[in-house]
Every structure is written in structure tokens, then in C-alpha cells.
Amino acid sequence: MNQSHVSVLEIDLNALKYNINYFKNKLTPSVKLMAVVKAFAYGHDAIEIAKFLEKNKIDCLAVAYTSEGVILREAGIKLPILILHPQIPNLENLIAYNLEPNIYSNNTLDAFIKIATRNQLENYPIHLKFNTGLNRLGFTSNEVDAILNTIKKSSCVKIKSIFSHLAASEDLNEFDFTKNQIHKFQQIANNISKKLNYTPILHLTNTSGVINYPDAHFDMVRIGIGMYGFGNDSFETSQLKNVGSLKSIISQIHKIEVGETIGYNRAFKTSKKTSSATIPIGHADGISRKLGNGNGFVTIQNKKCPIIGNVCMDMIMVDITDIDCNEGDEVILFDNQESLNELALKSGTISYEILTGISQRISRKIIFNS
């Protein structure tokens, strides 16, 4: 873990455990839980999060790409890992690290069976994804027979799960659309299951799907953003605990006279004597340039300090005129869901992008009180 950057993302594993249990309590005991740790565990720390999840009896993990799964395997993670978007050039490496592919097209199916046959594999677990309305990845319902014919010709693969992805599970205005997706998925799953002599795992719901559609939990659910403290609305988010807190320090304080400017392009001009603090974090660390010029803020001594001037690559400057603080004092970018959501709103984005955009040059600090 990089320790050279004084800015730090603190990761509260106690909060993570609380959030996991919150979602487990929404499930019947027989329903499995797949933890999504793609994109560096939503910007936190994939290895540390995965190790903790493994110790806390999560059933399996999911990442987007083979390289993410390889990193977890090399760190000693033994849990099953689903690769949600495997690429054909990486399938050999996927097999070498005992990762499980999402098969979503005839191209990926044919390529994987060819490689599995060459490697003399037997019943290697694959996961079939069907498109029920998101129109991103997945087979169509009318391809079921052809898929099964291809799979039954080979003993090298076995269908471990059948799944799909809801397009708008967080939006109750799209209730009818989502219910139609659930119905389509159930029809596809029933059609496949009756043609097999074994029963694959079925999974459909993401975080908001778990909350809003308990009738669609099937055999397993996938929890991503919910693990890190964000539900599908303000109430659900309030029931969860914040996992990541982004903090820095004051590098230098300046006393600026009236009429002087601060930062690139002289974007901020003082109208009164102003004290500014320079903070060692910038847009290369995930702080959007949209937060400059008074739009965004940090918190120092429990007071909001607006960002003044343009956000630099490695630094921001903030107004501390009315705050009693010193160089080296702590600066909080966000330490709860409300402050992160406010930054996301002011950046014109969502919490996902703020979290996953935190540079990996920012130190990660694990907090856990066992």
C-alpha cells in the first residue's frame, strides 16, 4: 500500500461488517451473498476488503476484469471470483488463476470452450448472463437452446449460475419495467433448468434490487455500493454506515492582500484580506475541477471551507479566513455519506464516481476494532 502521500482514505472495516449484516438480515438464510469488489473495491482497497470479506463468510466475490481477479488470487484470496466482463485474450490467464467467467455471447462461449478443451478441463464453472432489458451484455432468451446444445457437447464446462442485471431497480417509477425484467429472467431460468440434470444458482438483484424487490432474491444477491454505505435512497443510506473517509492536511497557509489572485488563470481574486490554506490533493487524486471556484468545500475544525481558484493537479486552495487553524492540521474532504453525496452533487456526478475516482496514490489506512 502506498504510504508516500499524506492524504489518506481511511477504511472502516467495522462499518463494512455492519453494512454486510444489514443486507444479510434482508435475506432468507438460504440466499447466498456475492460481494462486488471491482474497481479497487469501489475505490477503497480490493485486497484488504476481499480478505476481510473472506474471513466474514461471504460466499463469493465479483470483479469486472481478469486482471482484478489475478490481483486477488496473488494476494491469497481463495473465494470463488466471478469475472463479470472477461475478454477473450485473457481467458487463458483466467483459467490459470481459477477464476470464473461470465459467458455473455456466442463468441465468449465458443472461445472459452475451445480453450477449456485444449487445457483438458472438466466441469469448469461458467456463469451465463442474459439480457433482460439493460441492453449492455448478455444472451437473448431465444438463444437458450443453441447455448445448451453447445455446452452439452463438451464435458469441460458446467453452468454454475444464470444471472441478469436490473436496469432501474433503484427507481420505483420504473416498477413495471423492473417487474417485467424479473419475469423474463424467471422464464429464462425455468427454461434452462428443465433442460439440465443439475440446478444452477440464480441471481439477479444488485443493492437496490435487494432493497426494493425481495421477491427477486432467488438463490443469491450481489451487493456492491451498499457494502460501502450507500443505499438506493436517503433513508436506506441513513441505515448504513460510512466506510471510506478521505482526509488530508494543511501544507501551507498564506495571507493574501486585497486584490491579489489565487491559483491558475488567476481564477480567484480577493475582495478583502484573505487567509488561504493549500491542501495536497487535486484532480489527479479524484477531486473534480468542477469543485473549484467556491463550488466545493473541505472541512477544517468542523467548519466548511470553500475551495477557491481552480483545482490543481496535486493541490487545492481553500478559504480559512475565519478559521483558527495551523499548518499540519487535519482536513476532511468527506467522512460521511452526506458530505460525499454533496460533493458528488456539486461535481455533477454520483457517489460511485467520486469513490472509484480516488487515485491509488492516495494512502489507504485500515481501521478495525475487533
* Residues with catalytic roles: 38, 264
Cell matching residue 147: 447455448
Pairing relationship of beta strands 297-300 and 303-308 according to DSSP bridges: antiparallel
Give the total residue count for the chain: 370
What secondary structure, in 3-state letters, does the chain show? CCCCCCCEEEEEHHHHHHHHHHHHCCCCCCCEEEEECHHHHHHCCHHHHHHHHHHCCCCEEEECCHHHHHHHHHCCCCCCEEECCCCHHHHHHHHHCCCEEEECCHHHHHHHHHHHHHCCCCCEEEEEEECCCCCCCCECHHHHHHHHHHHHCCCCEEEEEEECCCCCCCCHHHHHHHHHHHHHHHHHHHHHHCCCCCCCEEECCCHHHHHHCHHHCCCEEEECHHHHCCCCCHHHHHCCCCCEEEEEECCEEEEECCCCEECHHHCEECCCCEEEEEECCCHHHCCCHHHCCCCCEEEECCEEEEEECCCCCCCEEEECCCCCCCCCCEEEEECCHHHHHHHHHHHCCCHHHHHHCCCCCCEEEEECCC
Return the sign of the alpha-carbon dihedral for residues 264, 268, 271, 277. Answer: negative
Query: Where do the DSSP E strands lie in 27-140?
Result: 32-36, 60-63, 81-83, 100-103, 124-129
The alpha carbon dihedral of 23, 367, 358, 99 has a sign of negative
Whether 346 contacts 291, CB under 8 Å: yes
State the DSSP H helix or E strand holding residue 214, giving kind and residue range, or none if neither.
none
